[in-house]
Structure 1
Amino acid sequence: MKRKKHTSADDEAQIDMTPMLDIVFIMLIFFIVTTSFVKEKGLDVNRPDNNNPQTNQPSKSLSIRIDAQGVITMGGREVDIRRVVANAQTFLAENNTDSAAIQADEDTEHGIVVEVMNQVKIAGIEKVSVLVKS
């Protein structure tokens, strides 16, 4: 009978991976349980509700133009800054809207634009937007 000769491959020790996997899973559970979630601070955004039915009628808004010399035009007519409130109220009586769009020239003084915005708000229009050249 021939004897088997032991090779070095048979004598190698094998490493049991089960305890290491147990430790990894325990650490994973520990980190999941101890993690705290912090709500980041930021600005609240008012998004429109999706529950509101969309109307097919476009919303008509008050259009105001201010040129570089400060001349205010509403509805195709030139208007004095003191008459913006009256004209805006007339527009509100004729149209069901809650918004106004002010288109000012880039050379217009800021004070005139702000005064027109204030006059429109006094007239009862809460949503005022300023159009810019893009």
Structure 2
Amino acid sequence: MSRRKKKVKAEDKAEIDLTPMLDVVFIMLIFFIVTASFIKEKSLGLNVPEDNDQPPPPDAESKSILIQVNSNDEIFIDQRRVDIRSVRSLIAQKSAENPEGGVVVMADELSTAQVYVAIADAAREAKIYNVSLVPRKSR
């Protein structure tokens, strides 16, 4: 008879205890909640100027070199069309007149980024490191 009792007791203890598994699940849940709250989204802060159809008038004492780029990637300095190869020398010439000035590129929204990069590279070759981009809507 003792063998039968042992078999009955073994069958009673065949149940699975879920408490340790639930503890592990709750610990994992707490871990994911805590780590998810410390993730910061990285964003690029842009200050886009207001919609104006006309460019702002240049100041009388403006020390910046204004370079305009139209939708056909044509470059204009002082209202004259300029080839990309002569941009560096013109920037160097104008920076000699106003050494504190930077370069402002007023580019049409349909112009390519290659032109802006070429102008920025030319300015850096002329030892001017303050290059700003002002987007302009095409007409």
TM-score of the aligned structures, taking structure 1 as reference length: 0.53
* Equivalent residue, structure 2, for 1:105: 108
CA distance in 2, matches of 1:104, 1:66: 5
Larger radius of gyration: 1
Whether contact under 8 Å (1:61, 1:99) holds in the other structure is yes
Deviation string, structure 1 residues 11-70 (Cα, Å, up to 9, x no partner): xxxxxxxxxxxxxxxxxxxxxxxxxxxxxxx9xxxxxxxxxxxxxx95510100000111
Q: What is the identity, as a one-letter code, of the residue corresponding to 1:128? A: V
Q: What is the identity, as a one-letter code, of the residue corresponding to 2:81? A: E
Runs of at least 5 residues in structure 2 that lack an aligned partner in the other structure: 1-41, 43-59
Q: 2:66 aligns with which of 63, 66, 83?
A: 63
* Equivalent residue, structure 1, for 2:86: 83
How many angstroms does 1:131 deviate by? Answer: 0.5
Deviation string, structure 1 residues 52-92 (Cα, Å, up to 9, x no partner): xxxxx955101000001111001221110000010001101
CA distance in 2, matches of 1:130, 1:70: 14
* Equivalent residue, structure 1, for 2:121: 118
RMSD across aligned C-alpha pairs, in angstroms? 2.3
CA distance in 1, matches of 2:91, 2:136: 24
* Equivalent residue, structure 1, for 2:21: none
Whether contact under 8 Å (1:100, 1:127) holds in the other structure is yes
Whether contact under 8 Å (1:68, 1:108) holds in the other structure is yes
CA distance in 2, matches of 1:70, 1:118: 16
CA distance in 1, matches of 2:136, 2:107: 9
How many angstroms does 1:124 deviate by? Answer: 1.3
TM-score of the aligned structures, taking structure 2 as reference length: 0.52
CA distance in 1, matches of 2:100, 2:131: 11
* Equivalent residue, structure 1, for 2:75: 72
Q: Which has the higher helix share?
A: 2
SS of the equivalent of 1:132 reads: strand
How many angstroms does 1:109 deviate by? Answer: 1.1
**Structure 1 residue runs of 4+, over 4 Å off?**
none
SS of the equivalent of 2:110 reads: coil
Whether contact under 8 Å (1:98, 1:126) holds in the other structure is no
Aligned identity (percent) is 28
* Equivalent residue, structure 2, for 1:131: 134
